[in-house]
Chains A and B, each alone.
Chain A
Amino acid sequence: MEKLNIVDGRAYPFGMKNVDTDIVIPAHWLKTISRSGLGKGAFEVLRKEPGNVFDDPEYAGSPILIAGDNFGCGSSREHAAWALADLGIKVVIAPSFSDIFSGNAFKNGILTVVLPQEAIDRLMEVAQGLNGTPDPIHVDLEHQTVTTQFQDRFQFEIDPFRKHCLLGGLDEIGLTLGQADTISAFEARDGGARPWLVPAVA
């Protein structure tokens, strides 16, 4: 996984609430067997609307997405995170996220930042641009801040373990495999207590 700390750049001023993962990536894109290339399908339905932010050349390649409440609800498909990653998004900022989506985002090196609605409203203005062209947004994971060139400064919370992994680009599976002995000890203990569980599949 790539390391993530400072992300600086334009942000898609999206802001829509209750965006489910079918909107992020429609089901017919789930048919891939590889993780890359899904950016083409991201927000496919919304992109049919003229003037949508995702096809606005001003925002092409923006690393940040400003979203609305309850982003990523609905289906647990991780393709939503892959699609955003393939689009080049490294940070999504919203008032709240579905649990499954924020977990999937994290596992794919995308930072989800929760900020209050007032902060989102302000960041939407900055992302749209205060003087006609979009203004950049600065995200600093180490210091847990989102700042702008207009003196805005928002502090966010993040789970310390997630922060550690994102900063170090650490792969979760490798970390857990390092605890194989603890897992084996659990299996031995539990196998004594609930022998009927094994094997499930003969």
Chain B
Amino acid sequence: MTQLRTLYEKIWDAHVVERRPDGTCLIYIDRHLVHEVTSPQAFEGLRLAGRKVRRADLTLAVPDHNLPTTPRRDAAGNRIPIADPESAQQLAALERNAPEFGVRLIGDADVEQGIVHVVGPEQGFTLPGTTLVCGDSHTSSHGALGALAFGIGTSEVEHVLATQTLLLKQSKTMEVVVEGELGFGVTPKDVALAICGRIGTAGGTGYVMEYRGSVFRDMSIEGRLTVANMSIEAGARSGLFAPDEKTFAYLEGRPMAPKGAEWDAAVAYWKTLATDEGAVFDKTIVIDAAEIVPNVTWGTSPEDVVPVTGVVPDPESFADASKRAAAQKSLDYMGLTAGQRMEDVAIEHIFIGSCTNSRIEDLRAAADLLKGRHIAAGIKHAMVVPGSGLVKRQAEAEGLDRVFTDAGFEWREPGCSACLGMNPDKVPAGERCASTSNRNFMGRQGPGSRTHLVSPVMAAAAAITGHLTDVRELMGEKRGEMVA
């Protein structure tokens, strides 16, 4: 009898170049995404050692973190200089390194440019059953398409560039099962936050997650990308979805996806990858879809999740002393008090973007709520940053840009932007942002900034009212209008 295997084990087994006696494996890497922040020192290392890139044909470079989200070319097509000298230097390093080592670069002003984790799937560079790496922890996103994808550090970037392999130990497996149907106004982001809240930021450490159950089967590819993206916030380096008909439909015809007979052979192979019935996971987490509501974070860790209808927790309510101290520290930083209603928390900034929620479905959902409405007087700044130039173009073709700008939002060029504030898009100290990104760490959106993680529709709702708001009430109004 052949052994029953999970999706993860099948991908792993297919990529073992060599197994060492201690269990470490040399794993072949099929796809490597490179951006400007974590690659300069890797290319520097290759250059110093006189080494080459082994498989430039499996490597794709895209700048995203540092780029300003304001226009990048003037009317004559010349580059508008980047004000921050360090950002300019990193971008220049990538523009120098990629051609020197024969790596294809999507340039800062190309329509295909965007956040690496949006670009990979969009171009069909990300494929099911592949191993995919990038020097960025949110590489877990690509697991939405059934790729074993994980973030690596710069030394590993250098290792992959030089050898197209990595030395790895096999992870344990965890299945995260969500069965049932998501309620009205509940989005994939709320599911991801619910998982972080349930298992904590270290809950998945050492595991590769596989998302299973009806909610994930019914979820769109873009929703799956949101969920897989946040696997790392729950401690898992990778999160996987079994490739299915939705995956194939999403990928077919993408520029870098296989074509013709190769496509057919690929699909036939991808269909064999699903976890075998009866295969055993090392750990199982089960969440009832009916229990998931629109969520927000109150603290400075993605596990600090409460329903938007809830209150700021009392640090004293945590069992463990270090958690109590951490919670108090978070509340001091966030300027919140125990027992305060989340819906009473006033917001000054809105950020819709990041590799978690900047794809067309995210923008459509937010725009749908904003149509005919305007941001509240207390909102100092609201901004939409599409995940890629192609998302931006599509949104403009649908008129979404007008909906956003009419509502008082700024409509920007693609990039990471205020997700981590490496470019000029920052939240000022002490001010509060409802953000569709994935991390609410201290200082993440700028020194002293306060972040509340939410879904795109929840960000839109907060923009309309000026405080954290249960989007279901606003959607209810809309639904009422439609019925009337």
Which residues of A are at the interface with B, using a C-beta cutoff of 8 A? 17-18, 20, 22-23, 26-28, 30-35, 45, 68-70, 73-78, 81-82, 96, 98-100, 103-104, 107-108, 159-161, 172-174, 176-177, 179-180, 182-183, 186-187, 190, 194-202
Contacts and interface: CB of A to CB of B under 8 A. Distances in A.
B60 interface: yes
Given A103-B153, A194-B269, A202-B256, A30 B162 contact: no
B155 A200 contact: no
B420 A200 contact: no
Given A73-B201, A183-B17, A197-B130, 11 more contacts: A17-B326, A22-B441, A23-B442, A30-B38, A33-B40, A74-B137, A98-B235, A100-B152, A173-B45, A173-B159, A196-B127
A18 B60 contact: no
Given A76-B152, A201-B104, A68 B322 contact: yes
B442 A45 contact: yes
Contacts of A22: 439, 441-444
B421 A201 contact: no
Contacts of A187: 28, 164
Contacts, number: 190
Interface residues of B, number: 79
Contacts of B84: 31
A54 B303 CA distance: 28
B60 A200 contact: yes
B422 A31 contact: yes
A45 B151 CA distance: 25
Contact of B90 (A31, A73, A182): A31
B49 interface: yes
B26 interface: yes
Interface in B130-180: 130, 135-137, 151-156, 158-159, 162-165, 167, 169
A20 B233 CA distance: 11
Nearest to A17: B322
Interface string B393-426: 0000000000000000000000000001110000
Given A22-B443, A33-B93, A74-B441, A107 B153 contact: yes
A81 B93 CA distance: 22
A27 B444 contact: yes
A179 B237 contact: no
Contact of A176 (B65, B135, B153, B159): B159
A200 B130 CA distance: 11
Residue from A27, A69, A108, A174 having most chain B Cβ neighbours under 10 A:
A27
Contact of A161 (B17, B24, B156, B158): B24
A76 B89 contact: no
A201 B441 contact: no
Contacts of A73: 201-202, 205, 235
Contacts of B256: 200-202
Contact of B163 (A70, A173, A201, A202): A173
A177 B45 CA distance: 14
A195 B262 CA distance: 7
B28 to A, nearest CB: 6
A100 B22 contact: no
13 contacts: A22-B443, A30-B37, A31-B84, A75-B439, A77-B38, A99-B237, A107-B153, A107-B155, A173-B45, A173-B49, A177-B51, A186-B28, A196-B263
A104 B157 CA distance: 11
A82 B54 CA distance: 26
Contacts of B280: none
Interface string B37-62: 11011001100010100101111100
Given A22-B441, A183-B163, A197 B127 contact: yes
A57 B450 CA distance: 33
Given A28-B422, A161-B24, A201 B155 contact: no
Contacts of B26: 176, 179, 182-183
B87 interface: yes
Interface in B16-30: 17-18, 20, 22, 24, 26, 28, 30
Contact of B153 (A78, A161, A200): A78
A121 B58 CA distance: 48
B266 interface: yes
B374 to A, nearest CB: 32
